[in-house]
Structure 1
Amino acid sequence: MFTGIVQAYVEVSKVVKKTELTSFTLTFPTDLLKGLKQGASVAIDGVCFTATKIDDKQVSFDAMKETLQRTTIGNIKEEKYVNIERSFKIGDEVGGHIVSGHVHGMAEIMGVDTSIPNNHIITFKVPHYLMKYIFPKGYVALNGVSLTTVDVNKTDNTLTVYLIPETLKQTTFGIKETGELVNIEIDTQTQTIVDTVERVLAEKNISC
């Protein structure tokens, strides 16, 4: 499990594509290597991966067909950058919200607005089937970053977030551009509530 507080963004140093499998290697900062062992879980752009090999600062991972089809990892390239977060331990501070690393889909960046001083505003186009779980002031994880939704337009299937300078410094959102795709994971508590209410209403033949 993760908290959505990305610890760094790092460079993809190597990508090897095989049949229905992609192996890739990231260059980790020294401070995030402490205690990292083969088999450990790491969130990479919000997707939970298992470390398969550690060679000095080079940490390798494997992505299989399902992950390649449903997440941005399917388009991973050398010399690009990705967000990383080590899994949290019991007792650690949860600064964002609980994130599983099981991505629900991909969202497209529709616009980046920097016209307001010290404000970095990004609007995303979200798959329509996820919009029922997204509300203003709710939680969402985008490329592994725990963010609060500010504006939600359920007609256009869009959500908007405001990013503080610290988020821009610590994550790839400081270099993201319009048209790029990001991974999205909705808040599981919100999903559970919405699905439960829908099921109960359906059982009582009440439309919502």
Structure 2
Amino acid sequence: MFVVGVTGGIGCGKTAVTDYLASKGIVIADADQASRVVVEPGRPALQSIAEHFGQHLILDDGNLNRRALRDIIFNDPNEKVWLEQLLHPLINNQLKQELQQAGSIYSVLVSPLLFETKQNTMADRVLVIDVAEEVQIERTIVRDDISREQAEAIIQSQANREKRRSFADDLIDNSGTIEQLHQQLDELHNRYIKLSRS
């Protein structure tokens, strides 16, 4: 199975990329989605989080209060490390399962922390989605309804732009229109089909 790892900082447009590839029948294994699956009600990780941080992080419907947890770990680097040590192996196992079950000609592993979590080792090729940092900040503030300070903190917690670009086998500049994005993706899609067949 040929796997393309897709990454980019917050607000770069990873979802626009994967939605378009999914519309072409490509299976997407999404690390953000996997991070939700591993803390679903009844999963051991959710119990561990409640025991460590307190029951107040569990909502009335039994789900994790992700926003409250995000506030805690952004203000305490030690708690962030604890949470990552719990969740990253579980997320990686979930992604491996999804990729093994994928039935498309190639599949995509999308993750904002592709390199930081060594998930790039699951990919044959890496596609980096790139925009200027100011664009990232503006898009993130609007999309997630957070402060500029929070948006900047998220960007600081991710691999820096130059480092990400240096790891790229393929690079998309997503500061243009959706049509320009799709045009770039059509070319890459055809290339990935050829590579997966060779």
**TM-score between both structures, scaled by the size of structure 2:** 0.25
As a proportion of its length, which structure holds more strand?
1
**TM-score between both structures, scaled by the size of structure 1:** 0.24
